[in-house]
């Protein structure tokens, strides 16, 4: 654990800049900021709460003067340790920069501060028939600044795209203390796509102080279907065929029987307890289009031996089904002292084989592995339940998870679909990228963050050619994790 002491001059300067109520430095106050939604832990030396971009500039300049690491933080729901001060230093919480600055309904744009909670923006524009499309499961807590840093996804990204597809412009404080603007509310700004480069850079390029996003029109009609299966293979084959029929559902989520039982016990969404898998599929658009696609999807489900296909009759039933899905991780958390969620991506045609392999890996290490994932885009979230206090279990959980990830890579997939690399998967990056690739990424990071003070030891492996399994400190109890 990093020592929780802070250079008294830096502390005084921060307090002078922001006011005493905007700086936390006592060990008991810092505890909460050791964690995010991942299993990682590290203690910052202090936590600061800027209110304006000028505050952020001041913080960055002080960090630079005192040669102290600096990490941005939204709600701390991230699942890869992105908001954890791995090398100690100053955590900059955007909790007080949470204003929606402008809603421009006519142009379907909004300008927000980074601390705005994802679902708060959608709620604020609902009466205009609009929403902010990226919808991570943690959307009731996670912030748009965090979404930008992680390029967050969510169930509805299958049709609507991930965060990067909805961000038009950014105001950013670079580690030099310079305030810069990337992109524009109008499309196609001239020059290199710095906005595109910045989104998903996991807080290693700069601190975002303002975001211009696209707002998407709410569909006229939405149909939510629950298809219930006796076999996981039938469910996965359904997914492949829906796509083959040229239908892109708004969402296509799968949960296996094991996860369903954990969820049902907690959420009471009405999932059958005796099935092997369910698909939660949503289609939307014009009334006529939603009706047609719902019928097509139901047809495919039955063709692939769904035992039952239920269609949510109203918004209440729909919300209940989604509540089951979005709270699944919380439900699983009740079953075990610790759980570890993977985020591998595979080509979706390889789903059946991958799920079989995940099950074998679970058996080999003696773990229960639940499967809950964005089936439509091949983004898996196997959940390994274990007790982190048991060193052997911990090592086995890491080993099992590595085996799953290696299998994803062998199929041409990726180590992370939406949770980010952070401090959790940096050691896996060499499995996807050569030293040459990583070196270029390092040099691009250095363009923005040359001294490495901003969010150090994230995304890119610190030791060259590393691939070793690192043993994490005692893991956090399961928090309000999301996917």
Partner 1 sequence: MTTASTTLSARIAEIAGLQNVISDPAHLAAYEIGGKIPSAAVRPESAAHIADIVRFAAAEKLATVPCGARTKLGMGMPPRQYDLALDMTRLDRIVAYDPGDMTLSVEPGIPLRRIENALVEHRQFLPLIVPFMDRATAGGTIASGVDSPLRQFYGTARDYVLGIEFVTGDGTLTKSGGRVVKNVSGYDLHKLMIGALGTLGVLAKINLRTFPLPAATRAFVAAFDAAAGAIALRHAIARSPLRPLVVEILSHGAAELTSTAPSYKPPWSLIASFAGNAEILERCARDLHRMAEQSGAAAVEPIREERLFVASRRTCEFVPAALASSPGAAILKLSVVPANMLEILDAAAKAADAAGLPWAALARGVGVIYLALLPPSRSEEALARVARATNNIFAQCAALDGNATIPWCPSEWKAALPVWGPERGDLGPMRALKKVFDPHGVLAPGRFMGGI
Point out which span in 114-122, 272-280, 391-399, 406-414 binds partner 1 (CB under 8 A): 406-414
Which is it for the CA torsion 110, 113, 118, 124, positive or negative? Answer: negative
Cβ 413 to partner 1, closest distance in Å?
5
Name the maximum alpha-carbon separation found in the chain. Answer: 70
Q: How far apart are CA 86 and CA 70, in angstroms?
A: 10
Name which of residues 195 to 214 contact partner 1 (CB under 8 A): 196-197, 199-201
Q: Is 379 in the site for partner 1 (CB under 8 A)?
A: yes
Cβ 478 to partner 1, closest distance in Å?
22
Binding mask 164-183 toward partner 1 (x if CB under 8 A, else -) reads xx--------------xxx-
Q: Is 107 in the site for partner 1 (CB under 8 A)?
A: yes
Residue 208 and residue 167 in contact, taking contact as beta carbons nearer than 8 Å:
no
Name which of residues 444 to 463 contact partner 1 (CB under 8 A): 444-448, 459-460
Distance set, CA 373 to CA 112, 259, 468 (Å)? 30, 11, 27
Q: How far apart are CA 119 and CA 404, in angstroms?
A: 32
Q: Is 415 in the site for partner 1 (CB under 8 A)?
A: yes
Near partner 1 by CB under 8 A: residue from 246, 392, 465, 471: 246
Near partner 1 by CB under 8 A: residue from 52, 248, 268, 389: 248
Q: What angle do CA 470, 476, 477 make, to 5 degrees?
A: 140
Q: Is 353 in the site for partner 1 (CB under 8 A)?
A: no
Binding mask 357-376 toward partner 1 (x if CB under 8 A, else -) reads -----------------x--
Give the contacts of 409 (CB within 8 A, at least 6 positions apart). 415, 431, 432
Name which of residues 285 to 304 contact partner 1 (CB under 8 A): 285-289, 292
| Number of chain positions touching partner 1 (CB under 8 A) | 86
Near partner 1 by CB under 8 A: residue from 95, 433, 462, 480: 433
Q: Is 184 in the site for partner 1 (CB under 8 A)?
A: yes
Cβ 296 to partner 1, closest distance in Å?
10
Cβ 263 to partner 1, closest distance in Å?
23
Q: Is 401 in the site for partner 1 (CB under 8 A)?
A: no
Cβ 286 to partner 1, closest distance in Å?
6
Cβ distance to partner 1 smaller for residue 158 or 385: 158
Cβ 242 to partner 1, closest distance in Å?
10
Name which of residues 10 to 49 contact partner 1 (CB under 8 A): none
Binding mask 141-160 toward partner 1 (x if CB under 8 A, else -) reads ---------xx-x---x---
Cβ distance to partner 1 smaller for residue 6 or 428: 428
Cβ distance to partner 1 smaller for residue 104 or 390: 104
Point out which span in 47-55, 57-65, 216-224, 356-364 binds partner 1 (CB under 8 A): 216-224
Exposure on the CB side of residue 222, measured as CA atoms within 13 A = 18
Name which of residues 111 to 140 contact partner 1 (CB under 8 A): 129
Near partner 1 by CB under 8 A: residue from 4, 85, 235, 346: 346
Near partner 1 by CB under 8 A: residue from 61, 161, 299, 317: 161
Cβ distance to partner 1 smaller for residue 199 or 275: 199
Cβ distance to partner 1 smaller for residue 363 or 443: 443
Cβ distance to partner 1 smaller for residue 196 or 272: 196
Point out which span in 61-69, 300-308, 331-339, 438-446 binds partner 1 (CB under 8 A): 438-446
Residue 138 and residue 481 in contact, taking contact as beta carbons nearer than 8 Å:
yes
Cβ distance to partner 1 smaller for residue 120 or 377: 377
Near partner 1 by CB under 8 A: residue from 34, 233, 377, 424: 377
Cβ 432 to partner 1, closest distance in Å?
6
Cβ 438 to partner 1, closest distance in Å?
8
Distance set, CA 206 to CA 46, 126, 179, 407, 457 (Å)? 19, 31, 9, 34, 15
Q: Quick one: angle between helices 232-244 and 351-365, nearest 10? A: 150
Q: What is the dihedral of CA 458, 34, 479, 383, to 10 degrees?
A: 40
Cβ distance to partner 1 smaller for residue 76 or 82: 82
Near partner 1 by CB under 8 A: residue from 355, 421, 454, 476: 421
């Amino acid at each position: 654990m990093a020592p929780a002491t802070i250079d008294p001059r830096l502390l005084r300067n921060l307090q002078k800049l922001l006011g005493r109520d905007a700086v936390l430095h006592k060990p008991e106050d810092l505890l909460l900021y050791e964690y995010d939604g991942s299993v990682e832990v590290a203690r910052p030396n202090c936590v600061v709460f800027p209110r304006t971009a000028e505050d952020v500039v001041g913080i960055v300049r002080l960090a630079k003067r005192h040669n102290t690491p600096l990490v941005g933080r939204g709600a701390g729901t991230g699942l890869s340790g992105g908001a954890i001060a791995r090398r100690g230093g100053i955590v900059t919480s955007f909790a007080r920069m949470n204003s929606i600055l402008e809603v421009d309904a006519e142009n379907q744009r909004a300008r927000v501060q980074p601390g705005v909670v994802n679902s708060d923006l959608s709620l604020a524009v609902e009466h205009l028939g609009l929403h902010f499309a990226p919808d991570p499961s943690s959307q009731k807590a996670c912030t748009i600044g965090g979404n930008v840093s992680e390029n967050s996804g969510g169930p509805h990204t299958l049709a609507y795209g991930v965060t990067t597809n909805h961000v038009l412009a950014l105001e950013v404080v670079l580690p030099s203390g310079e305030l810069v603007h990337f992109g524009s509310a109008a499309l196609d700004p001239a020059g290199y796509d710095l906005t595109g480069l910045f989104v998903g850079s996991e807080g290693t390029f700069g601190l975002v102080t303002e975001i211009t996003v696209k707002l998407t029109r709410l569909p006229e009609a939405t149909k939510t279907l629950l298809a219930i299966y006796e076999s996981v293979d039938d469910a996965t084959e359904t997914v492949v065929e829906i796509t083959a029929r040229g239908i892109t559902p708004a969402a296509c989520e799968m949960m296996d029987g094991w996860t369903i039982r954990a969820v049902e016990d907690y959420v009471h969404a009405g999932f059958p307890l005796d099935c092997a898998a369910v698909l939660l599929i949503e289609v939307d658009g014009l009334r006529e289009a939603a009706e047609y696609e719902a019928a097509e999807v139901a047809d495919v489900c039955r063709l692939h031996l769904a035992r039952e296909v239920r269609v949510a009759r109203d918004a209440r039933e729909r919300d209940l089904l989604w509540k089951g899905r979005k709270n699944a991780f919380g439900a699983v958390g009740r079953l075990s002292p610790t759980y570890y969620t993977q985020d591998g991506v595979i080509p979706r045609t390889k789903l059946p084989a991958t799920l079989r392999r995940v099950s074998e890996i679970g058996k080999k290490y003696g773990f229960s592995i639940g499967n809950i994932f964005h089936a439509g885009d091949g983004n898996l979230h196997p959940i390994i339940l274990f007790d982190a206090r048991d060193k052997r279990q911990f090592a086995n959980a890491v080993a099992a998870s590595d085996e799953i990830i290696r299998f994803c890579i062998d199929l041409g997939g990726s180590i992370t679909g939406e949770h980010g690399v952070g401090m959790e998967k940096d050691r896996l990056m060499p499995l996807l990228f050569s030293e040459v690739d990583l070196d270029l990424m390092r040099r691009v990071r250095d363009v923005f963050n040359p001294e490495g003070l901003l969010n150090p030891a994230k995304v890119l492996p610190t030791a060259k050619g590393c691939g070793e399994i690192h043993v994490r400190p005692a893991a956090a109890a399961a928090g309000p994790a999301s996917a």
